[in-house]
Amino acid sequence: MLIGAERVAEGTRFHFRSTWKIPSGLVAIWNAIGGVDRWPEWWPSITEAWVVRGPTLPVTVGTITEYRVRSPLGYALRFRSEVTAFDLGKWIETKIHGNLSGRGRWDFVHAAGVTSAILAWDVAVTRPVLVRLAALGVVRSAMSWAHDRVMDGGEDGLRRLAAVKRAHA
């Protein structure tokens, strides 16, 4: 969900917050989010993800992963995320470079058999054509809609993954 957008030197910075509520244990969700190279297996819009530096799991400061994401609007974004800090089982912070630039943070909370994975995503688009288009209010709205669809697909995929893991446990 779009919390806000603002014009900045590099274009338009978007502030998103998404909350996924998954009926699963904290460790399973932490490992699924931390295992970024496996995201394309369960997150439909993530078409590629690979670790450039460092291990996938355990989560480690300095690990860099590159992603290719297909927007429901038809364009693709390629970016890298680098883990800058984490508190095991509680949160992961990253900085983002590429077609998106900014910061992301996952927070994890477990209560009553449900793990909430909350993503705060503060990024600017850097592809020149998207920078120009994002200046238009209607396009910003479309980009917000596209972000929500990408995140909905991720939540649905993680729910299915968690259900399969529970069934095999």
Give the pLDDT confidence of 54-112 residue by residue, as tens digits.
998 899 999 999 999 999 999 999 999 999 999 999 999 999 999 999 999 999 999 99
Quote the pTM value: 0.92
∠74-76-81 over CA atoms, to 5°? 150
Give tens-digit pLDDT for 93-106.
Answer: 999 999 999 999 99
Does residue 1 surpass a pLDDT of 90? no
Mean pLDDT of the chain: 92
Which CATH number does 2-168 carry?
3.30.530.20
The domain segmentation of the chain, as residue ranges, is 2-168
Task: Count Cβ atoms below 10 Å from residue 151 Cβ, excluding itself.
Answer: 20
